[in-house]
Structure 1
Amino acid sequence: MITSDPHLRARTLVEALPYIRRFHDEIIVIKYGGNVLSDAGSSLTELAEDVALMRSVGMRPVIVHGGGPQIDDLADRLGLVPSFVDGLRVTDAAMLEVVRMALLGTVNPAIVTALGCQGAAAVGLSGADSSLAMASRISTDLGFVGSINRVQTGVVAELVQAGVIPVVASLGVETGGQLLNVNADSFASALAVALGAAKLIFLTNISGLLAEIDDSDSLIAQAAVDQVQGLIDNGKIRGGMIPKVTAALDASMGGVERVHLIDGTVPHSLLLELLTDEGVGTMIVGGSR
């Protein structure tokens, strides 16, 4: 809710100023989850507003997205039954086509259009464009599922330099040209490291990391890499959160200064985490190259 107190509004703007200065001209990679996009409300519009503001004050945002719920919905309409192994979608030829259609035909253009409505220039692409994300298959059991071997940042770097916001779908490509389905969290982590990003922000549908799983008041505002690893080892990070948090740790250890896990369904959570002292989620610090 926007306060009616003009003095509080002024203090909020002053509080944001050092962060605007600190991250001027810095690349900030934002991973936008399909779960956030599928939530009711105006989360996509609010994301576009936040990212457009970031660009207007001199930051250089890059968006990476997946689209799990959108893929599931399209697969269901086509009569395909999704299956998963260790949280990764088994992707045969038919499912790969569904993934491609959902990401490049639905999610990607929706984000690009939303940014355009806020006056922000954006271009949609995938990891296959200009061989951005070179990948190899993880296992025969998973089919056309890949992990990234090499990121060639040329096309993204050129767009960023031109003031355009890249919106990147999490698809990779093999040396022979075969498209591969890549986990979006891992994709965002690899791209953030390759770009030398100052921040990587995961927009999820949870508030952040909790010291106690069942206690929503135990949110950890800031954590070191070894502390987060301890939460995994102690079973306090479970299930589908493990790949996401592992990707966050990979980015931190790869040289990304600050990695954030925040609730993208909270209105303007991106700006609250970026431009206020208190923030709204969990910030991971302490990694090194």
Structure 2
Amino acid sequence: METALQGKQGVQGNPLLNDQQGERSSFVMKCGGSTLEELPDSFYNDLARLQASGVQPVIVHGGGPAISDNLNKLGIETHFVNGLRYTSEEVLDVVEMVLAGSINKKVVRRIGQAGGKALGLSGVDGSLITAKPVQTASEVGWVGDVTDVNAELIEGVLKLGYMPVIAPVGIGEDGTRYNINADTAAGAVASVLGVQQMIVVTDVPGILKNIGGEKCVMETVTVQQIEDMILTGEIYGGMIPKVRAAVACIQGKVNEVIIVDGSEPGILGRVLSGEKIGTRIVRMG
């Protein structure tokens, strides 16, 4: 896969197929929890078509709104610290139940209904995502930083012809569970797999910048520009971990991260064909 995803033609003209080595190309997609309920059937049809054409999506999903709804129903209080949910042991039980249970299986089910083949996993399964406490654990509770990703397990699922759908619950070397921000988990998966592109599907059109009193989508943004915008407060709240994860995964073979609005018609095919849509985060200007 090239940065602009141009110049390669594989099966059925798909630019993502590595025709030189006859290997299937892969990309990592992160889908936000607030977006999942709103995604149209056409989005899942796109995923199924990509899989059928030889492209291998790897999905990491969130589930924030569903977690909040279930916590409210159970009368369990929670709050956010710098965009991360404070996670007590009680909250963690609900996080795992929702992410690895209902949300994960709904995504797998919708892919199947669209004609695709998917296999749901959590980071705990096969020690898929190992983690350690974040540095601010005293403030946010059982929230983890990724220390390793079991790439062999993901590649094994892909070789079987299934699309991995990963819930971001991690496990420590001592068996402790951790709530992991989905953006952070997706960035770690992309880095370990060595894909050249990660797509962040969310409910916003990209990174917005105030220009002349109007909020405009930035077509391309560099890592340094992101840091500057965080300092000035132009990037804030839940967008901070999104861009931090993007920056963290732009290493090795990962050249760019694209933030797009999942409600846009045919968004995946458009992004993968090189259309300028959303915000592309790149190494440098």
Could you list the per-position Cα deviations for residues 52-72 of structure 1 after superposition, in whole angstroms to 9, with x for gaps in the alignment?
A: 111112111000011000000
Of the three residues 16, 21, 24, the one matched with 2:15 is: 21
Distance 1:179 1:239 in 2: 25
Q: State the Cα distance separating 1:81 from its structure 2 match.
A: 1.8
Could you list the per-position Cα deviations for residues 213-249 of structure 1 after superposition, in whole angstroms to 9, with x for gaps in the alignment?
A: 7624x22212333333333333321222111111111
Of the three residues 174, 186, 189, the one matched with 1:188 is: 186
The residue number in structure 1 matching 2:88 is 92
Of the three residues 229, 236, 239, the one matched with 2:237 is: 239
CA distance 1:192–1:108, change in 2 (3 Å): same
RMSD value over aligned CA atoms?
Answer: 2.1
In structure 1, list runs of 5 or more residues that go unmatched: 1-14
Counterparts of 1:58-77 in structure 2, within 5 Å, are 58-77=54-73
Distance 1:124 1:22 in 2: 24
Could you list the per-position Cα deviations for residues 242-267 of structure 1 after superposition, in whole angstroms to 9, with x for gaps in the alignment?
A: 11111111111353122100011223
The residue number in structure 2 matching 1:37 is 36
SS at match of 2:15: helix
AA of the residue aligned to 1:100 = E
Distance 2:267 2:86 in 1: 32
Contact 1:99-1:181 at 8 Å conserved across structures: yes
The residue number in structure 1 matching 2:100 is 104
Contact 2:34-2:63 at 8 Å conserved across structures: yes
Contact 1:261-1:282 at 8 Å conserved across structures: yes
Q: State the Cα distance separating 1:109 from its structure 2 match.
A: 0.4
Q: State the Cα distance separating 1:197 from its structure 2 match.
A: 1.1
In structure 2, list runs of 5 or more residues that go unmatched: 1-6, 19-23
Distance 1:211 1:153 in 2: 36
Q: State the Cα distance separating 1:145 from its structure 2 match.
A: 1.2
Contact 1:27-1:196 at 8 Å conserved across structures: no
Q: State the Cα distance separating 1:16 from its structure 2 match.
A: 11
Distance 2:237 2:81 in 1: 12
Distance 1:254 1:140 in 2: 32
AA of the residue aligned to 2:109 = T
The residue number in structure 1 matching 2:250 is 252
The residue number in structure 2 matching 1:157 is 155
Distance 1:208 1:130 in 2: 34
The answer to whether the aligner puts 1:50 opposite 2:46 as a matched pair is yes
The residue number in structure 1 matching 2:208 is 210
Give the paired residue count. Answer: 268
Could you list the per-position Cα deviations for residues 154-178 of structure 1 after superposition, in whole angstroms to 9, with x for gaps in the alignment?
A: 2111111222100000000011112
Contact 2:85-2:140 at 8 Å conserved across structures: yes
Distance 1:73 1:23 in 2: 41
Distance 1:169 1:189 in 2: 13
Distance 2:225 2:253 in 1: 17
Distance 2:36 2:114 in 1: 17
SS at match of 1:136: strand
Q: Please, what TM-score do these two structures have when normalized by structure 2?
A: 0.87
Contact 1:127-1:168 at 8 Å conserved across structures: yes
Distance 1:160 1:44 in 2: 25
Deviating more after overlay: 19-28 vs 198-207? 19-28
Distance 2:40 2:8 in 1: 23
Contact 2:183-2:241 at 8 Å conserved across structures: yes
Q: State the Cα distance separating 1:85 from its structure 2 match.
A: 1.7
Distance 1:90 1:210 in 2: 27
Tell me the percent identity. Answer: 36
Of the three residues 117, 123, 133, the one matched with 2:129 is: 133
Contact 2:258-2:278 at 8 Å conserved across structures: yes
Q: State the Cα distance separating 1:278 from its structure 2 match.
A: 3.2
Q: Please, what TM-score do these two structures have when normalized by structure 1?
A: 0.86
Contact 1:171-1:179 at 8 Å conserved across structures: yes
The answer to whether the aligner puts 1:284 opposite 2:278 as a matched pair is no
Contact 2:129-2:146 at 8 Å conserved across structures: yes
Distance 1:75 1:256 in 2: 36
Could you list the per-position Cα deviations for residues 32-79 of structure 1 after superposition, in whole angstroms to 9, with x for gaps in the alignment?
A: 11010133xxx1523311111111121110000110000001111111
Distance 1:220 1:72 in 2: 30
